[in-house]
Amino acid sequence: MKTQLRLIAMLLSATLIACGSGEDEALKQQLQQQGFTQEKAAELSSMKLTEQEIQELGQAKRAGLDEAAAVEMVKSMHERSLKFDLGSTVEAMSPLGLSPTAMTQLTEMGALPNWADDIRAMKSAGIGEEAILELSKMKFKEKKTMLSGLEYSTLKPVQMSDASILQFARKGGSYQQVQEIRLQRQLGKSEVEALKSVGM
């Protein structure tokens, strides 16, 4: 009898623990089918995901998104009352090789998905991850008036460093100034001289 009572107590305890964790067993299984490990599937299943979000997460996972980053990205979007809809965005950005930390930070800022094409243009042109994060911070956190990522990326073919591009952006450089800097560099002027030519 005592053994039966202990067994019942253990079962009740396990049930309460499972309920308290907020995990959804059906969602957990769906996430595991999408390729997530049991641990991360369990964590994600407690976030009240929609069917569409599960599909988007599966697409992102197949594109190589780090599981821990996926969890943080979902949390960040849910905190802003947004649904995770970055499956195709992650897939398109996968070849760029951005770190999981960068993907998480860009999502937290709101740069993903809003500035995804600009980020792709900058990374493809050779602007580094740290500079992209800083430019995104200026635009989405500091609310600075910025050019498009494509316009900043045109400074890379004329060998402008990330530091010079950041300086240019912080000082509110215009499209016309981009063109002048490009011209000065093509004429053989140094980065400092090219920036001075536009008053920077």
Q: What does the pLDDT read at residue 23?
A: 67
- Does position 1 have pLDDT exceeding 70, yes or no? no
| 72-113 confidence digits (pLDDT tens) | 999 999 999 999 999 999 999 999 999 999 999 999 999 999
Write down the pLDDT at residue 26.
Answer: 86
pLDDT digits over 52-64, tens only? Answer: 999 999 999 999 9
- Is residue 151's pLDDT more than 60? yes
Give the pLDDT confidence score for residue 2 in this predicted structure: 46
Residue 6, pLDDT above cutoff 70: no
User: Do residues 181 and 197 lie in contact, with contact meaning Cβ atoms separated by under 8 Å?
Assistant: yes
pLDDT for 24 equals 79
Q: What pLDDT, on a 0 to 100 scale, did the predictor assign at position 50? A: 93
Q: DSSP letters of 88-132?
A: HHHHHHGGG---HHHHHHHHHHTHHHHTHHHHHHHHHHT--HHHH
- Segment 10-24, tens digit of pLDDT: 444 444 444 444 667
**Predicted pLDDT of residue 32:** 92
Q: What is the mean pLDDT of residues 38-58?
A: 94
> Does 179 score more than 90 pLDDT?
yes
Determine the Cα angle at 53 with ends 49 and 54, to 5°.
85
Give the pLDDT confidence score for residue 22 in this predicted structure.
Answer: 64
- What's the average model confidence in pLDDT over 26-31? 90
Extents of the domains making up the chain: 32-114, 121-200
Q: Residue 124 CA to chain centroid, in angstroms?
A: 16
Calpha distance 149→1 (Å, rounded): 72
- State the pTM of this model: 0.82
Answer yes or no: is pLDDT of 8 > 50: no
